[in-house]
Amino acid sequence: MRIGMGYDVHKLVEGRDLIIGGVTVPYEKGLLGHSDADVLVHAIMDAILGAAALGDIGKHFPDTSKEYEGVSSIVLLEKVKELVEKECYIIGNIDATIIAQRPKMAQYIPQMVTNIAKTLHISEKQVNVKATTEEGLGFTGSGDGISAQAICLLNTVDNYAYDGTDSVAYVYDPEATETKNCSGCQGCCRNK
């Protein structure tokens, strides 16, 4: 098992949509950034990449690249999923916090969880998103920006027991690769 953490912050400005967790949140300001500046998804991507020791989003999606200008962070999250899968990692869970004085996020969080889980091809029960204010303190408390923090637990395919079919029994079993027959499974890098 491996654990990674991510942190991101973006400035609030006029003339931009506020996109958090793949949801367009109605607000008079949006986050400034090279992509859509989805602060939550950026923190989650960094947590996943960190757990896999694959650097950070700046390494993979530099803000100097025209290819990523204005891109949806959900698209980038899909690319991060592909990167960790190539390394034979499976996402165990994600826990993230949005830090914003306003707007209030509670009503949008269920859709954020759905978007993140769907993109990563994991259960919504593996994704937790919450929001908090800074009680008026700091740049987030004054409404100058929004930040997010995330942690991610990754497992290797060795932590999972295969039953010889296409399904995976999500049970931690450190001896799985030595004692289980994985024939027929094309789901992990051991078969590639």
3-state secondary structure 144-159: CEEEEEEEEEEEEHHH
Write down the H helix ranges in the chain. 39-51, 57-60, 73-86, 109-120, 138-141, 176-179
For residue 102, which amino acid is it? Answer: R
Residue 15 maps to a domain: yes
C-alpha 3/C-alpha 81 separation (Å) is 15
182 in any annotated domain: no
In a domain, 112, yes or no: yes
Q: Which residues define the annotated binding site for a divalent metal cation? A: 8, 10, 42
Would 21 be classed as within a structural domain? yes
Decide if 43 is inside a domain.
yes
Q: Give the residue among 153, 188, 167, 166 at the shortest CA–CA distance from 177.
A: 188
Q: Does residue 62 lie in a domain region? A: yes
Residue pLDDT tens, the chain, 192 long:
999 999 999 999 999 999 999 999 999 999 999 999 999 999 999 999 999 999 999 899 988 888 888 899 999 999 999 999 999 999 999 999 999 999 999 999 999 999 999 999 999 999 999 999 998 888 988 889 999 999 999 998 766 555 555 444 444 444 444 444 454 554 555 544
Residue 84 buriedness (CB in 10 A; 0-12 / 13-18 / 19+): buried
Question: What confidence score (pLDDT) does residue 176 get?
Answer: 45
Residues of each annotated binding site: 8-10, 34-35, 42, 56-58, 100-106, 132-135, 139
pLDDT score, position 89: 94
CATH of the domain at 11: 3.30.1330.50
For the chain, the domain total comes to: 1
Give the pLDDT score at 24: 96
Task: Specify if 149 maps to a domain.
Answer: yes
Q: What contacts 24+ positions apart, CB below 8 Å, involve 11-17?
A: 11/144, 11/145, 12/143, 12/144, 12/145, 12/146
Q: Which residues constitute the domain of residue 49?
A: 2-159
* Residue 188 within a domain: no
